[in-house]
């Protein structure tokens, strides 16, 4: 008898009807708590990330959450609706997503990429021949570091693979002008010799 009574009480605490409304007992729930966690590109907890919520009317929440050492953050009592969530941390690409808060309790996972992680991801996209994605990542890299030598080198490889030979050579000339004794020219020649610059 006790088990049946407990079950009735628990199922009556938070319930939904066919209209999509949520109730706590007899009280209608029209707000949500948001629990989240932030990881970096290496799947490690990312602390110190500033997360803000902006509603459909452009109103930014007066409370900004900051992820702790475990990457966790929390927002309480946000009215149901569509929110733009922005996540920012120095040295990392800004992440912006849209989230529909429509349940009493929701969970969100975010991934942040720093410069080195973006470079590694861009290189991987090039060698997997996902050239459009690699080009998008280069834009992100240049946003974090305008004259990224590693970015220019990857862009030269991408251009060569796309058959833009003159553009690739111009990029290598820029690299040499920035740092005459750099190692990129030798790496580029080695890739040519090994046939790794072929886009086929």
In DSSP notation, the chain reads: -HHHHHHHHHHHHEEE-TTS-EEETTEEE-EEEEEEEEEETTS-B--S-EEEEE-TTSPBPS--EE--TTSEEEEEEEESEEEEEEEE-TTB--EEEEEEE-SSEEEEEEEE-BHHHHHHHHHHHHHTT-HHHHHHHHHHHHHH-TT-HHHHHHHHHHHHHTT-HHHHHHHHHHHHHH-TT-SHHHHHHHHHHHTTT---
Instruction: Inform me whether the pLDDT recorded for 4 exceeds 50.
Output: no
Superfamily of domain 115-194: Tetratricopeptide repeat domain (1.25.40.10)
| Structural class in CATH, domain 30-112 | mainly beta
State residue 62 phi and psi, 5-degree precision. Answer: -70, -15
pLDDT tens digit string along 82-138? Answer: 889 999 999 999 999 998 888 878 899 999 999 999 999 999 999 999 999 999 999
Mean pLDDT computed over every residue of the chain: 81
Ordered by start, the domain boundaries in the chain are: 30-112, 115-194
In this predicted structure, the answer to whether residue 7 has a pLDDT above a threshold of 50 is: no
Average the pLDDT over 164-189 and give the result. 87
Q: Nearest-CA neighbor of 84 among 109, 101, 66?
A: 101
pTM, whole model, 2 decimals?
0.76
């Amino acid at each position: 008898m006790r088990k049946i009574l407990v079950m009735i009480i628990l199922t009556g605490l938070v319930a939904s009807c066919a209209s999509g409304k949520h109730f706590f007992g007899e009280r209608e729930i029209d707000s949500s708590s948001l629990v989240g966690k932030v990881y970096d590109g290496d799947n490690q907890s990312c602390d110190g990330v500033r997360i803000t919520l902006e509603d459909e009317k452009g109103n930014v929440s007066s409370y900004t959450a900051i992820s702790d050492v475990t990457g966790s953050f929390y927002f309480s009592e946000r009215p149901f609706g569509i929110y733009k969530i922005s996540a920012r941390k120095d040295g990392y690409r800004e992440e912006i997503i849209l989230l529909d808060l429509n349940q009493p309790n929701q969970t969100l996972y975010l991934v942040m990429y720093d410069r080195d992680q973006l470079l590694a991801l861009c290189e991987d996209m090039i060698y997997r021949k996902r050239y459009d994605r690699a080009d998008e990542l280069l834009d992100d890299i240049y946003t974090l570091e305008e004259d990224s030598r590693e970015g220019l080198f990857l862009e030269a490889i991408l251009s060569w693979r796309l058959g833009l030979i003159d553009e690739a050579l111009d990029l290598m000339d820029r690299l040499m002008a920035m740092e005459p004794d750099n190692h990129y020219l030798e790496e580029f020649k080695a890739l040519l010799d090994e046939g790794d610059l072929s886009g086929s």
